[in-house]
Chain A
Amino acid sequence: MTHVAWRLFRRALVNLWRAPLPSLLAVVTIALALFLGAALAFSLASARALLASWGAQPAVTAYLDPRLSADEARATAERVRAAAPDAAFTFVSPAQALDRLRVQLGELGGALDGLPRNPLPATVELDPGRGDPRALAERVAKVEGVADVDYGREWSDRLEALAGVLRGFGTASLALVGLAALLVVANTIRLAVYARRDEIEIMKLVGATDGYVRAPFLLEGALQGLSGAALAAAGLLAIQRLVLPRAAAAFSFAAGVPAPHLAPEHCALLATAGALVGLCGSYLAVARSLRT
C-alpha cells in the first residue's frame, strides 16, 4: 500500500506543479483566512488579558481632596476605612501614585520628571471582595474630604460588553473568510477536475475506484491548506518580530499584559485548520464532479 500512497502523493505534487496559478490563488486565500483568524484570536486574547488586569485593580478608588495636607489626608483615609470596614483598604499617597504612573508609562515615564509639582491626589483603594462595589462607592462618596469616587468595574464591565460584541463580530467575519477560502479551494479543485476530466474518465474506465480517483485531489487540497497555513504562520511571526515590539512601546497603558506569542501548538492548530479547509474544499469539488 505504501507505493500506492506514494504514487498518489507524487501525482498530487505533479498536478499542483502543472497548474501553479490556481494553486497559488488557493494557497494565498487560505493563508489570508488563517492569518486574519489568528490575528483576531490573538487580539481578543490580548484584550481579555488587558481587561482582566484592569478588572484586577481595586473596584472602588476614592480620590481625596488635593487641598488636604498629608495629615488631613491620612485622617480622611481613616474615615473612609471606618465607612467600609469589610473592604480591603490601601492608602496611596500622591508620591506613591506618581511612582506607579512612572512605572506604567515605561520609557515615557521620564516625562513626569519635568512636572513642576505632583498633580496627583492621595487616593484610597478599596476592594469590596464579594461585596457590592456600587453600594460601597456610594457610602464612601459621602465621607468628608473625599473629592471623587471612581467605580472602576463599571468601565471594565462596559469594555467586557464591547469585547463581547467584537468577539461575535470577529467570529462571524472569520466564518465568512473561512467560507470564502473553502469556496476558492473548491473552485480551484473543480477547475483541476475539469482540466483532467479525460484522465478521470480513463481512470474509471480501467477500474479505478472513486476513492482512487478522489485521493490525489484531496491531497492537493490538503497540500494547498498546509502551504496556506505555513504562509500565515510566517506572516504572524513577522508581525510578532517586527511590529509588536514597536506597538508595545506605543501602548504603554497595556504594560504588564503579555504580548501575543505564536507557540508551536498555535502553528499545529493553523496547520490542522488549513489542511481541513483544503480537504473540505476539494472534497466538495470532487464529490460533485464524480457524481456527474
Chain B
Amino acid sequence: MIQLFHVTKRWSDDPPVLDDVTLQVEKGEFVWLTGPSGAGKTTLLRLLFCADEPTSGQIVVNGRNLNRLERGGVPTVRRNIGVVFQDFKLLPNRTALENVGYALEVLGASEAQIRERAHKRLAQVGLGDKAASLPERMSGGEQQRVAIARALVNDPAILLADEPTGNLDASLTESILQLLFDANARGATVVVATHDRGLLGKHRRRTIQLHHGKVTGDA
C-alpha cells in the first residue's frame, strides 16, 4: 500500500530531514511511526500526501508512483488519503457538520449526500449531537474527533495521523486512538506518527523508529 525506496529529503544545504529511507506498509496494517522531535516523522507523512516532494528516491502510494505524478494528479491521490493533524486544522467559521462535509464538497457530492454521510461519520465518532457546533465551542478532544470524521468521510484507503493526541490529555487520547483502531479494523491502512512512548507500550503494533532522518528500527 505504501512503499518508499531510498527516499531522501533535504532542504537546501542543511543535513537531510530524511536520509535514504526504505520501508513498506502493507494494506490494512496499523503502523506507529516514532522518534524524537526532528526525527523526520512529519516530513515522511507530508511526502505521502504530496505536500512535499522527495529530493531523491521513489514513493509508491496505493499503486501510484508519486514521483511521476503530474500536478493535476495530486488531488486524486489525496482523495484516497485521510489526514489528521495535531492542531486539527478545522475551519473556525464552519460547523462540525460543514467541516466534515467539506471533504465531500470538493468531490462534487450533492447537499443531501453530504449531510447524510457527514452526519453518519459524526455519529460514529460520538458527536452526533454536536453537528451544528462551531469548533471554538468544542473541546480539544471533540475537535480532533471532528478532524478524524473529516479524514474518514470519504472512506479513504489510507489514514495518516500526525501526533493526533499531542494536544490531548490521557483520557481523551484513548478515545481518539480507539477511533483510529476502528478505522483500521474496517480496512484502512493507518500510519500514526507519535513521540509518546507510552502509547507504543500500551498498544503494541508494528513500530518504525526514525532518528535523524534514518530508520533505526522496524519491529
Could you count the A-B residue pairs with CB atoms below 8 Å apart for me: how many are there? 45
Complex contacts, B150 vs chain A, CB 8 Å: 206
Contact A205 B83 (CB under 8 A): yes
Say yes or no: is B107 at the interface (Cβ < 8 Å to chain A): yes
A264 at the interface (CB under 8 A from B): no
Whether a CB of chain B sits under 8 angstroms from the CB of A207 is yes
* Nearest CB of B to A274, in Å: 29
Which residues of A are interface residues toward B (Cβ below 8 A)? Answer: 1, 3-4, 7, 198-199, 201-210, 212
Residues in B neighbouring A209, C-beta threshold 8 A: 72, 75, 106
By size class, the interface of chain B is: 20 to 34
Q: Known contacts A3-B110, A3-B111, A4-B108; decide if A202 and B79 are in contact (CB<8 Å).
A: no
Give the residues in chain A near B32, CB-CB below 8 Å: none
Given contacts A3-B111, A4-B108, A7-B105, contact A205 B78 (CB under 8 A): yes
Q: List the B side residues contacting A202 at CB < 8 Å.
A: 89, 91, 102
Q: List 18 A-B contacts (CB under 8 A).
A: A1-B108, A3-B108, A4-B108, A198-B89, A198-B91, A201-B89, A202-B89, A202-B91, A203-B106, A204-B75, A205-B78, A206-B103, A206-B106, A207-B79, A207-B106, A208-B106, A209-B75, A210-B71
Query: Out of A4, A199, A205, which one reaches B49, CB within 8 Å?
Result: A205
When distances are taken between beta carbons in the complex, the residues of chain A under 8 Å from B171 are none
5 tightest A-B CB contacts, nearest first: A207-B79, A208-B106, A206-B103, A207-B78, A207-B75
Contacts of A206 in B (CB 8 A): 78-79, 102-103, 106, 150, 154
| B127: min CB distance to chain A, Å | 18
Interface centre among A1, A198, A205, A212 (most CB of B within 10 A): A205
What 16 new A-B contacts, CB under 8 Å, besides A206-B103, A207-B75, A209-B72? A1-B108, A3-B110, A4-B108, A7-B105, A7-B111, A198-B89, A202-B89, A204-B75, A204-B78, A205-B83, A205-B89, A206-B106, A208-B106, A209-B75, A209-B106, A210-B71
Q: Which residues of A contact B72 (CB under 8 A)?
A: 209-210
Q: List B contacts of A208 (CB < 8 A).
A: 75, 106
Q: How far is the CB of B50 from chain A (nearest CB, A)?
A: 9
**Interface presence of B12 (CB below 8 A):** no
Residues of B within 8 A of A204 (CB): 75, 78
Distance between Cα atoms of A197 and B108 in the complex (Å)? 21
B76 / chain A contacts, CB cutoff of 8 Å: 207
Query: When chains A and B are docked, how far (Å) is the Cα of A226 from the Cα of B15?
Result: 53
Nearest chain-B residue to A206 (Cβ)? B103
Max chain A Cβ within 10 angstroms of own Cβ: one of B75, B108, B111, B150: B75
Q: In the assembly, what is the distance between CA of A209 and CA of B49, in Å?
A: 14
Complexed CA–CA distance, A201 and B89 (Å): 9
B49 contact set on A, CB distance < 8 A = 205
Measured CB to CB, the closest approach of chain B to A290, in angstroms, equals 10
Task: Pick the contact of B106: A1, A3, A198, A212 (CB < 8 A).
Answer: A212
Chain B minimum-CB-distance residue to A14: B93
**Alpha-carbon distance A208/B72, docked complex (angstroms):** 10
Shortest Cβ gap from B78 to chain A (Å): 4
Known: A206-B106, A206-B150. A199 touches B91 (CB 8 A): yes
In the complex the two chains form, is A207's CB within 8 Å of B108's CB?
Answer: no
Residues from chain A with Cβ under 8 Å of B107 in the complex: 207
Name A208's closest neighbour in chain B (CB-CB): B106
B101: min CB distance to chain A, Å: 10
Q: Which residue of A lies closest to B83 (CB)?
A: A205
Closest residue of chain B to A8 (Cβ to Cβ) is B105
